[in-house]
Amino acid sequence: MGWWGDMGGPKQKGITSYTISPFRQRAMKGVLTGYIFNGYARIISQAPYFFVPLALGYGTYVWANKTDHYNNSKAGHIAAGEHH
């Protein structure tokens, strides 16, 4: 048994592999500039799927709080015909 992946079999023919030095690679090249344009477009395209449910949920929350405060107030008890 040889080095990693070398099982000692015959050499394969017709397989060419190319590599680039890790010192020549630029893994983070263009990340910020690419995000400024592509990320903005991606966020805008996903906005309806995020902001519409968020707005509906927030509106429901505000309505429920107002209704709860009114129902637990003196005016709400009088309007419902309940007396303490």
| DSSP codes of every residue in 20-43 | --TTT--TTTTHHHHIIIIIHHHH
Instruction: Match 């015909």 to its residue by tokens.
Output: 81
pLDDT tens, residue order, the chain (84 aa): 567 767 777 777 888 888 888 788 787 888 888 788 888 899 999 999 999 999 999 999 999 999 999 999 999 899 988 765
Residue linked to tokens 């099982």: 7
CB burial string 8-34: b at 16+ within 10 A, e below: eeeeeeeeeeeeeeeeeeeeeeeeeee
Q: The whole model's pTM is what?
A: 0.53
